[in-house]
Amino acid sequence: MVTASHNPKTDNGYKVYWSDGVQIRPPNDNHIANCILENLVPWIDYGAKLRSLNERKPDSDQLSDREDTERLSKLYFQSLSNIGGLVTNQYEQARKKLSIDDLDVLPKFAYTAMHGVGHPFAIKCFQHFHLPPFYSTPSQQNPDPQFPTVIFPNPEEKGALNESMEYAETMGLDLVLANDPDADRLAV
């Protein structure tokens, strides 16, 4: 598994797990390190790949295809609705029972992407489930591999949520939601 999001920003590297499901340890770690050192030249010429992509899509500046990513995201959210509307229908039914006064007591959310990629997907989730918009912690909203406001960008790490909690308190918000930088975990 390759991920920079769960490591200290100074590592900005990866986690490697062995076939036993545990992070590598000696002697496997040394064997892997040696293989890395023997293969420092990329197998793929990413410059050529980017040039080829730019020939096909001149407006692109990415190695991935934005349209494919948006299509997959759309399909994902459609699949959530296709489960019989289980979650969305439950919310809509409950909301219909609320009076206008009750809507004022719905919790207000602060959200942090913790300098990762979660912000646009959190917006889509809230929209998809017909939730009122959240308030995004401005200093942690955009991706930044340096993670400048946290020592460790893991929501469960002591102090990682301090900035979002202060933001929530300042804004009078009730709950803090936090994704880790690759948005595969959510802390409440």
Residue type, position 185, single letter:
R
5 as an active site residue: the answer is yes
The Cα–Cα gap between 174 and 83 comes to 30
Residue type, position 87, single letter:
V
Which 3 state secondary structure label does DSSP give 163? helix
3 φ, ψ (degrees, to nearest 5): -160, 135
Residue in 106, 161, 100, 168 with CA at minimum distance from that of residue 131: 106
Name the DSSP class of 57.
Answer: -
Residue type, position 33, single letter:
A
Q: Which of these is catalytic: 5, 19, 64, 99?
A: 5
Active-site positions read 5
